[in-house]
A and B are shown apart, each in its own frame.
Chain A
Amino acid sequence: MNGAEVWIVILALGAGTYLIRFSFLGLIGSRRLPEFVLRLLRYTPVALFPGIIAPLVLSPAATDGQFDPARGLAALFTLGVALVTRNMLAAIAAGAASLYTFLWLLG
């Protein structure tokens, strides 16, 4: 992606995100959203993140798309810590530590 395209993404994403934030506060007021729409909104991050993660973990660009056991194990360990602690930063820290450990052991 070239510099101009990156800025198109930044500006469109910035404007779009602002409109989402401003939507009800600024424009729509107290009109109620249908229950099913609220339900769909609740699941957007959890519906998108796993789809982003799975290909990155199974075929990392750094190993030319070949599955890498060290990275795979670190991903599993990070998920375990995230599930148990429910703490994003603890999981990132544990994930980084496990990645370096597995890279060192298996690399």
Chain B
Amino acid sequence: MGATTAKSAFGQGVLLGLPFILVIVPFGALFGVVATEAGLNLWATMGFSALVIAGAAQFTALSLMGEDAATWLVIVTALAVNLRMAMYSAALVPHLGAAPLGQRACAAYLLVDQTFAAASATYDQRPEMDLRAKLALFFGIATPIVPLWYVSSLAGALLGASIPEAWALDFALPLTFIAMLGPMLRTLAHVGAALVSIALSLAFAGLPAGVGLLLAGGAAMVTGALIETWSERRA
């Protein structure tokens, strides 16, 4: 395993990352536009995209801040949206766990839905890859994805300032969440969790902003997990 192997793995990673540009650029730009509409200045918008790099959680924070939820509730709820990344982190341990701490720290920063999906699929297909090649592949995948997330957020933020109110951008936020939700509704357990979430968030609408959502989300998570357990027992 010479330097060439790692170099070619990096190149393969870049190629694997390229198609995600089609998702990252419009999604990042949309965040920039919606954040600007919500009253965030350029620095705050870019702070989100550079430090959080997680579209769904960024939109969650925007939505709760728009409702004037308490600061800690915004943080806790948006973090809950990101808990899935603990699974990604665990799934990468067999592949990258032996790397030096600094490289694992960098990989963790770059661990987003798209880099995880592409890297873990490739590691499964090619068990012969060694640690250096796996690391190079991972950083290769992230190369077209993460910088474009910053750039597209910036473009969206600059553009957002000049979009007139008649465009009804207030509704970009719920439509984006609906569009993210649709593809997730794969099983009965997912649909059950979603229905519980809707019912309870509406039932708890009188509670202080954000509290109802957290309670509804907790109950819905348990519902999803229980339905999954139950349907496995039946199968």
Contacts and interface: CB of A to CB of B under 8 A. Distances in A.
Given A30-B94, A54-B202, A78-B179, A18 B108 contact: yes
Given A9-B61, A21-B89, A41-B86, A16 B181 contact: no
Interface in B51-103: 51-54, 56-57, 60-61, 63-66, 68, 71, 74-75, 77-90, 92-94, 96-97, 101
Interface residues of B, number: 95
Given A39-B228, A53-B181, A83-B185, A25 B51 contact: no
B107 A89 contact: no
B178 to A, nearest CB: 5
Given A51-B197, A52-B60, A89-B23, A41 B97 contact: no
Contact of A48 (B66, B68, B81): B81
Interface string A75-99: 1001101110111110110011001
Contacts, number: 283
Interface string A1-19: 1010111111111111110
Q: Classify the secondary structure of B's interface with A.
A: helix
Interface residues of A, number: 72
B172 interface: yes
Contacts of A12: 75
A62 B221 CA distance: 30
Given A24-B89, A33-B90, A46 B178 contact: no
B229 A39 contact: yes
Interface string A58-74: 10111000000001001
Given A9-B61, A13-B51, A55-B202, A22 B108 contact: yes
A50 B220 contact: yes
Interface of A: 1, 3, 5-18, 20-26, 28-30, 33, 36, 38-58, 60-62, 71, 74-75, 78-79, 81-83, 85-89, 91-92, 95-96, 99-100, 103
